[in-house]
Structure 1
Amino acid sequence: MVAEQKDTKVVLTKPFSLGSGSVSDPAYGAPSLLKRVLTLFKNVRLGSDLTKFQLPPMFNIPKSQLQCYGESVYSTGLDMLSRCNSGESPLERFTSVVAWSISTTRPSPFGIAPYNPILGETHHVSKGNLHVLLEQVSHNPPVSALHATDEKENIEMIWCQQPVPRFRGTSVEAQVLGKRQLKLLNHGETYEMNSPNLFIRILPVPGVDWVGNVNIKCLENGLVAKLSYRSSLFGGHGRYIRGQILDSSSTKVLYEVYGHWDSIVQVKDTNNGKEREIYNAKEVISELQAPIVKDAKSVWPTESGVVWGELSQAILNKEWEKAREAKQAVEERQRNMSRERETQGLYTWTPKNFVVSYSKEAGWECSPIHKLVPPAPIIAQ
């Protein structure tokens, strides 16, 4: 979807969803890309941090990583957040939060990746009463902050995320550092959780999956979920999720959690053995559509779809020389801005929408400046 904003294009593409995982294009299939992917890493050492690793445009999805984070919150076929809020008991609400957390896990394509966001880049989208705002608050290391509010449901969400990708020889694993908070303010409940790691398997069978442990806890009622995301070495339907929901005060297991995060996830009540479905990926993340621009004049110049608009359009048109020039132009603008700040003695970047701090003990903390996120000129469908 392309909208005109004066002389600037706002380019928005479909989010990752079941059955696609990216912009549908046979040229992006794993077999045709495997050889080229291997050549990218031929001079990279084992264990290397790939944060600063630059991909040529042919290996880019026409969207920023900032947009990918936002899509996992606002691009859904069902209103999972309202379900979290409407639960009558703490356990019912907690189980819905577990399902919502699983819904933020999205399929990713092999061999291509989103752009690394530039410092100060933003992404501002609304879906119904949910308003979502993201900002790239640090470039080195890359740190993204998210703030989302739904005034009608009285829900608030705060994320702070730092991907750390490392080369493992036959794979790349991106650890996603940082904390996610979901606040159900009507109930006085705050839920904290982390993200699984993105695992890119090059050999023996190319593929992309989510792996690792996710812990979810409610600070007020003591309920805890311990989930494990697992992958199959040889591909196939191996996107397993296993775990438990328990009462931390008694360590009693209340539910067993099991299934596949890209299909069905169920829970089993340990008291009576009854099983029920809590998440259906087909209902939530299939056939998702690109957002639309409702008010082009109100789109910020820092919006992802503007910053990368020319590059994204060139990739969609497969104009690779034009794409290379557009990507270089974005990167050069960022370097010029950095040099300009240094000449002015401004060595610390100040985000517009967040207060950011870092400590070895807590890591990165991103606190929103404003209580509510305003309605956005871009609307999720």
Structure 2
Amino acid sequence: MVTKVVLTKPFSIGDSDDVYRAPNLIQRILSLFNNIRPGSDLTRFQASLSFHLSLPPVFNFPKSQLQCYGESMYCTSWDLLSECNSGQSPLDRFISVVAWNISTTRPAIFGLAPYNPILGETHHVSRGNLNVLLEQVSHHPPVAALHATDEKENIQMIWCQRPVPKFNGTSVEAEVLGKRELKLLNHGEIYEMNSPNLLIRFLPIPGLDWIGNVNIRCKESGLVAELCYKSHSFLSFGGNQRLIRGKIFDSSSLKILYEVDGRWDKTVTIKDKQNGKVRVIYDAKQVISRLQTPILNDAESITATESALVWSELSQAIMNKDWEKASEAKKIVEGRQRELLRERESKGETWIPKHFVVSHSKESGWECSPIQKWVPAAPIIAL
């Protein structure tokens, strides 16, 4: 029997697709204000980001949040990771890492949101020599872990992400907690970085923006980048700017080496503080446009927890705009999860992630360590 897997087109700069078109936005906005107050912690009330299973399918686009995380890693038109590894000097490599980190910022659509991943859901995709594996290691709160490796380039990546949304009256800001770590093993370098926050703005003009401060640090070289993602003004004059401003400096001397300037959806430049020369380090059109839908290469190797299988019936119904079938498909997934939870509770069992060792505390937050050193090749291939 052929495994039914539904794969969908990734988000690209400049793309427009009816499948990802939001429904009535006024209805969507009003639904968000029910039973919440300004300043509320929305960890449990996460319909704004579709981290809550009860969101009607008409407000979903056909993929899981786990797939969205993965796409920011494996869906590219340009291999920036290899450039990170091939830099001749620590500074060259650091600048490439900054560019690569910017490339993980992807467009979002106001009024539509991904599915909330079920506990234990996985997503496993390969692109070239890069193998990417994600697992939903917690449901309440929602925590996703990512492990990606390129054995040929000797590169490893580990992410542990937990979104914490809060309602601010005219907007919801989701702080993305957790550490991102990129290891260039050939050079003995580890880069630590965080993620910008997602701002869902209701008034005066509805929209989504990535905002906040992102720090990238390499302890081995002492280099640091401080980037600030900026939205447009409150009154929205000038349109959606999607700005990035920042600097790259030596942490030992605090000497600023480069100024960073640009837009993450267009181009980002750096200006050499010594000679004033400006050059482009990131071009969104080159890296995250014309992205292709991944393909199923080995149906027999798909696991039962794979996102593209777990949500296949729902995703297909959404793409067909069959909302009755979509609602039924979603209820089936929800019902199965409630049944599994009842079974674990009746047996006194604690769920344990399959691919990660997970720990968390008030001091350090959530941390995820992969069980395997190298991620194996996946049955799904990104083009």
1:268 partner amino acid: K
Query: Is the CA contact 1:138–1:349 (under 8 Å) kept in the aligned structure 2?
Result: no
| Counterpart position of 1:296 | 299
Query: Is the CA contact 2:19–2:61 (under 8 Å) kept in the aligned structure 1?
Result: no
Q: 2:322 aligns with which of 315, 319, 322?
A: 319
| Counterpart position of 1:149 | 149
Counterparts of 1:224 and 1:42, CA distance in 2: 40
1:163 partner amino acid: P
Counterparts of 2:161 and 2:228, CA distance in 1: 19
Show CA shifts across 1:314-365 (max 9, x none).
100111111111111111111111111111111x321000000001111100
| Residue 28 of structure 1: how far off its partner (Å) | 2.2
| Residue 167 of structure 1: how far off its partner (Å) | 2.1
Show CA shifts across 1:117-136 (max 9, x none).
00000000000000000000
Q: Does 1:275 align with 2:278?
A: yes
Q: Does 1:306 align with 2:299?
A: no
Counterparts of 1:49 and 1:106, CA distance in 2: 25
Counterparts of 2:287 and 2:195, CA distance in 1: 19
Tell me the secondary structure at the aligned position of residue 306 of structure 1: helix
Q: Does 1:262 align with 2:255?
A: no
Query: Is the CA contact 1:131–1:374 (under 8 Å) kept in the aligned structure 2?
Result: yes
- Please show how residues 120-139 of structure 1 align to structure 2 within 5 Å: 120-139=120-139
Q: Gapped runs of 5+ residues in structure 2?
A: 48-53
Show CA shifts across 1:205-264 (max 9, x none).
121110000000002111000000000131724110000000000000000000001000
Counterparts of 1:240 and 1:141, CA distance in 2: 30
Tell me the secondary structure at the aligned position of residue 4 of structure 2: strand
Distance 1:49 1:317, change over 3 A: farther
Tell me the secondary structure at the aligned position of residue 24 of structure 2: helix
| Counterpart position of 2:37 | 45
Q: Does 1:232 align with 2:227?
A: no
- Counting matched residue pairs gives 371
Q: Does 1:197 align with 2:209?
A: no
Q: Does 1:17 align with 2:12?
A: yes
- Please show how residues 77-96 of structure 1 align to structure 2 within 5 Å: 77-96=77-96
| Residue 47 of structure 1: how far off its partner (Å) | 2.6
Q: Gapped runs of 5+ residues in structure 1?
A: none
TM-score (norm 1): 0.95
Counterparts of 1:316 and 1:170, CA distance in 2: 31
Counterparts of 2:253 and 2:382, CA distance in 1: 42
TM-score (norm 2): 0.94
Query: Is the CA contact 2:83–2:96 (under 8 Å) kept in the aligned structure 1?
Result: yes
Show CA shifts across 1:95-140 (max 9, x none).
0000000000001011000001000000000000000000000000
Question: Comparing 198-207 with 135-144, which one deviates more in the overlay?
Answer: 198-207
2:198 partner amino acid: L
Counterparts of 1:95 and 1:228, CA distance in 2: 16
Counterparts of 1:320 and 1:73, CA distance in 2: 31
| Counterpart position of 2:51 | none
1:20 partner amino acid: D
Q: Moved runs in structure 1, 4+ residues, more than 4 A?
A: none
Question: Comparing 273-282 with 166-175, which one deviates more in the overlay?
Answer: 166-175
Show CA shifts across 1:163-222 (max 9, x none).
112222221111100000000000000000000001111111121110000000002111
| Counterpart position of 1:173 | 173
Tell me the secondary structure at the aligned position of residue 11 of structure 1: coil
| Counterpart position of 2:210 | 210
Counterparts of 1:20 and 1:201, CA distance in 2: 22
| Counterpart position of 1:115 | 115
2:343 partner amino acid: E
Distance 1:229 1:27, change over 3 A: closer
Counterparts of 1:185 and 1:26, CA distance in 2: 41
Tell me the secondary structure at the aligned position of residue 55 of structure 2: coil
| Counterpart position of 2:367 | 365
RMSD (Å), alpha carbons: 1.3
Show CA shifts across 1:45-103 (max 9, x none).
22333343331110001000000000000000000000000000000000000000000
Query: Is the CA contact 2:171–2:200 (under 8 Å) kept in the aligned structure 1?
Result: yes
